[in-house]
Amino acid sequence: MNNNRIMVVDDEKIVGDMTKMSLEQDGYAVETFLNGEAALARLREQEFDVVVTDLKMKGIDGMEVLRTVKKLYPETKVIMITAFANLDAAIEALRGDVHDFFPKPVKIKELKASIQRALVK
């Protein structure tokens, strides 16, 4: 068991469900959110070690989630996942602030490896 907290934000249920199941198998405590609003509300009451968020969402999007995370918890690492088509734009816009990028579909092994790297202090 490890006690690291992971937040997953994606407006498609399957992404949260699959990520949660994969990460829980490794002992992470995972919470999933279907929109940015709910994620931000939770962030105000709970710190997470890693936030995995979709870039494009209705309402509060991944960029805003990222900004809020960085403002509240500068140590928390953010991994951005996004549709393949948006990848270049995303990399350009977010260079520097983001721990990692992944185009969807994301290979679970690679996501796990990235989270492990994020947790090395």
Binding to another protein by residue 81, rule CB under 8 A?
yes
| Shorter beta-carbon distance to another protein: residue 15 or 98 | 15
Task: Tell me which residues in 7-66 interact with another protein (CB under 8 A).
Answer: 10, 12-15, 17-19, 21-22, 24-25
Q: At closest approach, how far in Å is the CB of 108 from another protein?
A: 6
Q: Which residues of 18-50 are buried (b: 16+ CB within 10 A; e: fewer)?
A: bbbebbeeeebbbbbbbbbbebbeebeeeebbb
Closest CA to 30 of 39, 45, 19: 19
Report how far residue 119's alpha carbon sits from residue 29's, in angstroms, rounded to the nearest whole number: 14
Binding to another protein by residue 71, rule CB under 8 A?
no
Residues that bind another protein (CB under 8 A): 10, 12-15, 17-19, 21-22, 24-25, 81, 83, 104-109, 111
